[in-house]
Amino acid sequence: MHKIPVTVVTGFLGSGKTTLVRHLLQNNQGRRIAVLVNEFGEVGIDGDILRSCQVCDDEDPNVDATHPNILELANGCLCCTVQEEFLPTMQKLLKRRTEIDAIVIETSGLALPKPLVQAFRWPEIRTGATVDGVVTVVDGDALAKGQMVGDLAALEAQRQADDSLEHETPIEELFEDQLACADMVLLTKTDLMAAAERDRVQAWLQAQAPTGIKVVTCHQGKIHPEVLLGFNAAVEDHLDSRPSHHDHEADHDHDEDINSICVELNQALDPKILVKRLQTLVQQQEIYRIKGFVAVPNKAMRLVLQGVGQRFDHFYDRPWKPSEPRQTRLVFIGHSLDGEQIRQAIAG
C-alpha cells in the first residue's frame, strides 16, 4: 500500500491558513482530500468555515456521516495534545487510505510544526503516511507593520550585529521555527501593501528562509494545487536539517496566560456597529485573534467574521439551518482575557 502524502499548513493566527485550505478543497482537481483542523478555542470556528465550502463530505448526503473526511481537533495546540487525539485520528484515516489521495493538516496558530512532523516517525503512522511538505503561511501586511515580529529592520540589525544575543520573544522563536521547517513560504495579503513594501518583506523573508525555499505571494488563498502539493519531501526522515529552538527540550510550554474566550449571544448585531465595538475592545485588552459567526438583523445568511488587530474581514457564507440557533458566537484568543468585559462590550 502506498503512503498517503500529508501537507502540513502552519502559520500565525490570521495569516490565511483556513482560506488557503478552503480554496484547495474547492479546487481539488478530483483529489480526495482529508482535512485535519486543529482549533484553539471552545468552538470549532475554522472547521465550520471549511465545511461551509460545500465540497466537503458532511455537505454530501451520499457520504457516510460516521466517517467524515474533515476531522477537527478542538482541545488545544496540536503539538501539545498530539498524543491524545492526533494518533487515533490518523489511525482512523489510515484504515481508509484507499479512499484518500492526500491529507492536509492545518495547525493552530500557536503550534510548533516540528513536533507534529516527528509524530510521523511513530510505528503506527510511518508505514501508512508521510509528510509530503510543510507550507508556512505569513501575513505580509501584518509583518510589514511589525504586528507579529516587531520592526523588521531593527530585528535584522540586531541579528547582524550579534548573532549570539537572544532578543527573540517566544512568538518570534515560533516564527523562526515555522520558517526553518518550511518547504515553501506563502506570503499573503500582499494586496494591502505597496509594491516597494511587498518587495522588502518578500526579500527579508527569503533571507530568513532556508536555502532553496521559495517565498511565493498568494492572494486570498488562490494557489494552484500542483504548487501546494507534491513536494515528496518525506520531511519526517530529514528533520535534522530543519533546526528548531526546541530541539534540546523534552517538550515546550506555551504561555500559561494565553487563553481563549467564547462568547455566545442570543441577539442579532449590526456588522458595522459590532466591528467598531471590537476595534475599541482590542485597544483595551491584549487580543490576538477574533473569529466566529454573527447573526445579522433581517438577514437569512450567517455572517463569518475574522479579525486580527484593527483589521476585520467578514462575509456571508450560507443560510442559517432550521435546526441551528441564530446566535452570535465569537472566539477571542489573547493574553489574560476578561470574558465578562468582552461580553459586555459586544452586547453594548
Q: What is the pLDDT of residues 267-313, one digit of tens each?
A: 999 999 999 999 999 888 888 788 889 999 999 999 999 887 778 88
Looking only at Cα atoms, what is the longest distance across the chain? 62
Q: Amino acid identity of 98?
A: T
d(CA 100, CA 238): 25
Where do the structural domains in the chain lie, given as residue ranges?
4-241, 258-347
3-state secondary structure of 119: helix
**Cross-strand pairs, 286:** 335
pTM equals 0.75
C-alpha count within 13 angstroms, C-beta hemisphere, residue 39: 25
Residue 20: exposure state from Cβ atoms within 10 A (0-12, 13-18, ≥19): buried
Pairing type for strands 328-335 and 258-265 reads antiparallel
Kindly tell me the sign of the dihedral angle through the C-alpha atoms of 157, 138, 305, 330.
negative
Architecture of domain 258-347: 2-Layer Sandwich (3.30)
Q: How far apart are the first and last CA of the chain?
A: 58
Tell me if the domain spanning 4-241 has CATH number 3.40.50.300. yes
3-state secondary structure of 274: helix
Task: Provide the pLDDT for residue 119.
Answer: 85
pLDDT tens string, the chain, 348 residues long: the values are 589 999 999 987 678 888 898 888 888 888 888 888 766 555 667 777 777 766 654 444 444 445 555 655 443 333 333 344 677 778 888 888 888 888 899 887 667 788 888 889 888 888 999 999 999 999 888 788 876 643 344 434 434 543 433 334 467 788 888 999 999 999 999 988 899 999 999 998 999 888 889 999 998 888 998 988 988 888 988 877 776 766 655 444 445 566 778 899 999 999 999 999 999 998 888 887 888 899 999 999 999 998 877 788 899 988 999 988 999 999 888 888 888 999 999 988
